[in-house]
Chain A
């Protein structure tokens, strides 16, 4: 079979294309800044949270399975519980870690008698990946081991690509990705919005097992309007809070508490798919006050987008300089 030049080029291009398709992510453009069309996420309402930690336990349990975010031979055998008391009675992590993707913390002030009050009060807060709309971790990862699903916006991890540079840890403003430093063959661990459960028609374990509706799952647009609506409710009045999912028929009738007038995650770091409501300022709940509305990828993209111009300038300028100076110094050349 003979092959002319055109065919050869075609074949070569197809081969190259296949190589690219198999390994590289679409190149050449800055990351999108809009909410993906079918974006899903979670809403956490600290005023509804009773601190039962059911979400933590079930997060660990339902992710310590094959394809789960804590998947590993060892973890599938026994979920990676963290004990802090010698009796080893319950899973009691102090922070997110390579073994814990989700944590309920309690923040106290003064006498800590009033729930959801900043002064002499306390509040719970649920920490895990916020599934940013333009995630810094995805922007930072050199090998696209962290990717954002273009449809539902879940920020997920492909362990076989990861080289373990930990730039994602540095880049994430919320300090979410954790690394298995103790292992010889470590992975990054973070909440992947339970995306391994969607095929079976299930959703985030933390929302499924939340008894009060403090954590609910759903489409981000619906979660946003639900959150905005709650801010308009009169404190002291009654409201039917949906349980498990935002559109759920199951409701829990509760007295409305006083909210801080802010939905966390609407604008922070360019917006996130995890939204929070609380009765105390988010800064007190551990959200860094230095996190602005800045889309972090823009900061590095300004640099990267200049590279082609730099290449052209240096090559042309350098060649010109060489040509000009060559003659001038000829006499000194050996």
Chain B
């Protein structure tokens, strides 16, 4: 079986391959000449774009996997079954992106396995590392039926499907801990991270915003792939996701405002400084505008407006991760006279990861039965 509607050799594919090739060159350069030669990182900015975008953003964008899998297999909400496969695949690519970036970001890439044997349970980084490994493995198992079915390994296929519920539950557990622990990474820097973002509630905020992003990401991808790969959009699924987004966005909004009020005060967001403006941008784009649009039935039930809201949420929540990981440290680093902007090589490697995710998704859509039950 192979989806005849999807053409492989399009200009888009060639572009994706070119970007991946450029990324490959950068990756080799980075391994041979080190971080100093390839990035703009320095002692005051030890973490940059690869952590802020690829890891924090990539993992948040991958949250669709556990949210949808949990909805279908734990809540037994079968309406969402048609989108569970692309959601899991998307999560797998998100984690692959994060793990690959970590490999290139750490100074001793080939010791990436060390946390698995050298446990240090006080370290959030250790918790994060364990979860990346366990959850990527779990995702591979969750995705395996697509491959097994293709290979006609019916016995194994049935077996994995039979144990799917416990596997998904394990995945939900790992994701809950992983999404929140990425926020917990920053708990140890109260003197460095701007009070606009620093909060003891960071783990909760990361978790809730990841769920919010998950719904938009899955919806975005379903609409987009239905256009590109020309299959029918399960419309009630899209509107259902939009309704879910509304609920989670409302919860997240309340949490964020409460957090700001009990921290530096609401006024801190309106001082007009760089950090304050970044905070407002993140909130207006990612939370306030989506909330306003989704609260109107007219926009909540139309494909185009839902698509627009999805883009707002994705941009806004990814911006939140960049704020926590990068911009929120700008004031502190600025006081010390240090500056950071990603180097061209940092940007190319990240672009290559994104290209890989798109390319991988396209290949999967062509050769695997990604959208069962939505054949045209």
Contact = CB atoms under 8 A, between A and B. Distances in A.
A292 B191 contact: yes
B76 interface: yes
A290 B75 contact: no
Contact of A143 (B73, B120, B190, B203): B120
A315 interface: yes
Interface in A294-334: 294, 296-297, 299-304, 307, 310-311, 314-315, 318-319, 321-322, 325-326, 328-329, 332-334
Nearest to A318: B169
Closest 10 CB pairs of A and B: A164-B107, A290-B191, A181-B36, A142-B125, A142-B126, A166-B46, A169-B46, A325-B76, A182-B36, A143-B118
A155 interface: no
B10 interface: no
Nearest to A165: B106
Interface stretch (B144-152, B170-178, B271-279, B288-296): B170-178
Nearest to B187: A299
B114 A161 contact: yes
A332 B165 CA distance: 17
B308 interface: no
B187 A303 contact: yes
16 contacts: A23-B117, A24-B119, A24-B120, A28-B121, A139-B122, A141-B125, A142-B129, A162-B107, A165-B107, A182-B34, A184-B34, A297-B188, A299-B188, A303-B181, A304-B124, A319-B169
A246 to B, nearest CB: 30
B46 A141 contact: no
Contacts of B107: 162-166, 179-181, 185-186
Nearest to A289: B191
Interface stretch (B37-45, B133-141, B221-229, B243-251): B37-45
Interface string A147-177: 0000000000000011111110111010100
Interface residues of A, number: 70
A191 to B, nearest CB: 15
B43 A140 contact: no
A163 B111 contact: yes
Contact of A318 (B115, B121, B172): B172
B177 to A, nearest CB: 6
B106 A24 contact: no
Contacts of A326: 76
Interface in B96-114: 102, 105-109, 111-112, 114
Classify the interface of chain B: helix, strand, loop or mixed.
helix
A219 interface: no
Contacts of A28: 121
Given A164-B107, A164-B108, A181-B36, A303 B124 contact: yes
B35 interface: yes
Q: Which of B35, B44, B47, B128 has the most CB of A within 10 A?
A: B35
Nearest to A171: B188
Interface in B11-69: 31-37, 39, 41-44, 46-47
A250 interface: no
B188 A322 contact: no
A89 interface: no
Interface in B224-266: none
B373 to A, nearest CB: 8
A227 to B, nearest CB: 24
A118 B289 CA distance: 50
A179 B125 contact: no
Nearest to A299: B187
A65 interface: no
B34 A173 contact: no
Given A23-B119, A143-B120, A162-B111, 14 more contacts: A24-B120, A142-B114, A143-B118, A163-B111, A165-B125, A166-B107, A167-B123, A181-B36, A300-B188, A304-B184, A315-B173, A319-B169, A325-B77, A332-B78
A240 interface: no
A31 interface: yes
A199 B310 CA distance: 63
Contacts of B121: 27-28, 304
